[in-house]
Amino acid sequence: MCNYCDNKILVWELNGHWLGKCTKRPSMAPCSRCGLAIPLKQLKDHMSNADCLDVSLDEGAATCPLCRQCVQNTDDGWIAHLLGDIQHGYRKSKRRIKAQKWSDTA
């Protein structure tokens, strides 16, 4: 879900959405360290802040736009991250995925 335009956007697509398609966002630029789209006015503060996580040296890594943690930038990596302990609002789908797995093996 995009904070700005209320469209339903997948978490791992939020960053690209903010840098491109979102019509209601403020002016944003990608942070050169963590790769997240940050509002231009906040970019300086952001880079001197602890929530800027430097993943620029790690090709397979991305930063989660919700919790600002380092995530393996693959579908599996994102799903594992989103279904982890941190609250991302994905708890319902966790149950659904589990139920699916059980019915697959039954």
| Residues near Zn ion, by CB under 5 A | 2, 4-5, 22, 31, 33-34, 52, 64, 66-67
CB of 19 to Zn ion, least distance (A): 11
Return the closest-CA partner of residue 67 out of 2, 11, 7.
11
Q: Whole-angstrom Cα distance, residue 1 to residue 24?
A: 13
| 31: amino acid identity, one letter | C
Residue nearer to Zn ion on the CB measure, 1 or 99: 1
Residue nearer to Zn ion on the CB measure, 58 or 99: 58
CB of 58 to Zn ion, least distance (A): 14
| 22: amino acid identity, one letter | C
Residue nearer to Zn ion on the CB measure, 33 or 72: 33
The widest CA-to-CA distance across the chain, in whole angstroms, is 54
CB of 95 to Zn ion, least distance (A): 19
The radius of gyration computed from the CA coordinates of the chain, to the nearest angstrom, equals 16
End-to-end Cα, the chain, rounded Å? 34
CB of 106 to Zn ion, least distance (A): 32
Residue nearer to Zn ion on the CB measure, 2 or 79: 2
